[in-house]
Amino acid sequence: MPATPSDPGTSRTRSWWGWGYADAHPDDVECAAMGALLPGTLARPLPIPRVADLPIGRPGVLPPPSLAHLVTTDPETRAAHAMGKAYRDIIRSLRGRPGRIPDLVARPTDDQEVADLLDWAGGHGVAVIPFGGGSSVVGGVEYRGDAHRAVLSLDLTSMDRVLEVDATSRSARIQAGALGPVLEAQLRPHGLTLRHFPQSFEFSTLGGWLATRAGGHYATVHTHIDDFVQSLRVVTPAGAGTSWRLPASGAGPSPDRLFLGSEGALGVITEAWMRLQERPRYKASASVAFADFHPAVEAVRAIAQSDLAPANCRLLDAGEAALSGASHDGSAVLVLGFESATAPVEDRLATALELARSHGGSGEAPPADRDAPADAAVSAWRSAFLRMPYLRDGLARMGVVVDTFETAATWDRIPALIDAVRTEVGAAALKATGHAATINCRLTHVYPDGAAPYFTVAVAGRPGDEVAVWDDIKAAASDVLQRHRATITHHHAVGRDHRPGYDLQRPEPFALALRAAKDALDPHRILNPGVLID
């Protein structure tokens, strides 16, 4: 049946330099208060950068009249498309040192306009970088180099409709530029949901999730966007194509898998048929406190290897728990949550709590009364989870180097990996800055054979030299991950910043196949050059 487009509906202004909405950022007083918690930070926050102060030159090329209505050269729009939202991007913006600012920003509304823009760019030496919500944290939307005459940022957010819903097969055909809230608003009248909620949900698109193989918020079962893909449509300089809609197929290498995670290096994903789920009606959550982190890890493994399949199974170490307000007594905290569209989930939660208590945890199921207050630790964690990117930007204004390294490894490697990251990355931060770093750990996603530990590092940087400090810390973290055979990224993308680590973990025959695919699909070598495949 046809689907009705929804109103994207918000009058709030996006920050061109930082995360999210401009009016949600910490003010100077809050920034200073956060900075006071770490030694060596700046005396006052760095000022909010102004687009007028950036070195934005005249475009190196202009589109033909037939495409002019799709393209803008507005300085603020160009600045907002120059980088993603990684710490490295934020601090460069604050210091007035952005990378190559695109010459043009285009907003096509359909496949033909995408194809027309690619054809023009290919004939005029213009690099094209597909752009969704701009929430990239790995350098994936940034042009680096000087091999092209000009750079075009291809913003797909005008292609944001749910075009068709197949209620029988429980799937929908959705344009790739749909931001998370826009997509879900159009599915809600059908009683359906994609149920993919990364932390960037509000500021990222379906196409971005697909191109970066994004992980969602849920801890088990359907954790990555790959699980929901039924079919893709892709436009490349060599032509456009759509894979068949199938529930499963063993017919050779999957064409969808070729483009999932390709980060715009092979073509532009313009729409996809996605598998949907009924909206959950039953929910239950609780928290469990642990005096020691390592027994808590064993509790999480037991739950992951059961058949309980929690929607949330997030373990916070003592530092992470204190930062989020989930604990104030030095305890590690396990946040558990279950949901279902078809049956109550209280029994599954009770069984998970019993497993956690058998490993030394303390926690009880919430009262059955629907009007009872929510678990305080769960509520505190949820609020902090949504607020955290804004707080990171506030710390950056105080000269703090703060970033999260997310990885995944098998259970047998997890304890040694956690200890090594804390020891070696801490030593690298101390050497680079002269200050002791705060390093917190959390397990965010769990699988029967392993888990995804995420490490947040915060340390006062060298004023004006924060990117070099970030490089040193990241190099140390990457070395630890490689030695412990942990992935360079669990949750999203490789981009330019994770590229060296990715090269170490991929077999050379696979690398050769990727290069051949790019040569075949991108003969003009104009699409997002150098992100994933050289």
Residue 508 placed within a domain: no
Is residue 96 in some structural domain? no
C-beta atoms surrounding 513 within 10 Å? 14
Cα separation, 17 vs 26, in Å, equals 14
Dist CA 393 CA 402 (whole Å):
9
pLDDT score recorded for residue 510: 77
252 and 322 both lie in a single domain: no
Task: For the beta carbon of residue 137, count every other beta carbon within 10 angstroms.
Answer: 27
Within a domain: 74? no
CATH classification of the domain holding 180:
3.30.465.10
405 token code pair: 């390294």
| CATH code at position 370 | 3.40.462.40
Is 131 flagged in the annotation as binding?
Answer: yes
Q: Are residues 389 and 472 in the same domain?
A: yes
Asked whether residue 241 is marked as a ligand-binding residue, the answer is: no
For 251-277, the pLDDT digits (tens) are 988 889 889 998 988 899 999 999 999
- Same-domain pairing of 374 and 238: no
Does residue 320 share a domain with residue 421?
A: yes
Asked if residue 350 and residue 251 are part of one domain, the reply reads no
Task: Identify which of 142, 146, 49, 50 has the alpha carbon closest to the alpha carbon of residue 99.
Answer: 142
Nearest to 378 by CA among 344, 419, 335, 421: 335
Predicted confidence at residue 442, as pLDDT, reads 96
Query: Is 8 part of any domain?
Result: no
Strands (E), 322-407: 332-340, 400-406
- Provide the domain limits for residue 220: 169-278
> Of 254, 278, 302, at which residue does a domain stop?
278
Angle between helices 87-94 and 376-397 (to 10 degrees): 40
pLDDT tens digits along 455-476: 999 999 999 999 999 999 999 9
Q: CA-CA distance, 381 to 360, in Å (whole number)?
A: 21
Which ranges of 42-86 does DSSP label H, i.e. alpha helix? 75-80
**Is 266 among the annotated ligand-binding positions?**
yes
Residues 291 and 435 in one domain: yes
Give pLDDT, residue 204: 96
* CA distances from residue 125 to 101, 341, 520 in whole angstroms, order as listed: 16, 51, 18
Q: In this structure, is residue 108 part of a structural domain?
A: no
Total structural domains within the chain:
2
In a shared domain, residues 173 and 291: no
Q: What is the pTM of this model?
A: 0.93
Question: What Cα–Cα distance (Å) separates residue 223 from each residue in 185, 198, 422, 431, 520?
Answer: 21, 10, 26, 37, 32
Within a domain: 30: yes
Contact 100/91 with Cβ under 8 angstroms? no
Say whether 251 counts as a known binding-site residue.
Answer: no
Look at residue 101 and tell me if it is in a domain. Answer: no
Domain end residue (candidates: 216, 246, 278)? 278
Question: Which positions are catalytic?
Answer: 454
State whether residue 275 is helix, strand or coil.
strand
Residue 527 has a pLDDT of 77
Do 176 and 272 lie in one domain? The reply is yes
Same domain, 351 and 379: yes
- In this prediction, residue 57 carries a pLDDT of 92
Asked whether residue 132 is marked as a ligand-binding residue, the answer is yes
252 among annotated binding-site residues: no
Residues 357 and 266 in one domain: no
The amino acid that residue 137 corresponds to is: V
Of the three residues 222, 251, 278, the one that is the final residue of a domain is 278
Indicate whether 357 and 228 sit together in one domain: no
CB atoms within 10 A of CB 328: 10
268 is in an annotated binding site: yes
Half-sphere exposure of 97 (CA within 13 A, CB side): 9
Tell me whether residue 392 is annotated as binding.
yes
Tokens 């999957």 belong to residue: 254
Do both 228 and 294 map to the same domain? Answer: no
Cβ(114)–Cβ(527) under 8 Å?
Answer: no
Residues of the chain with pLDDT under 50: 1-8
Position 342 in a domain: yes
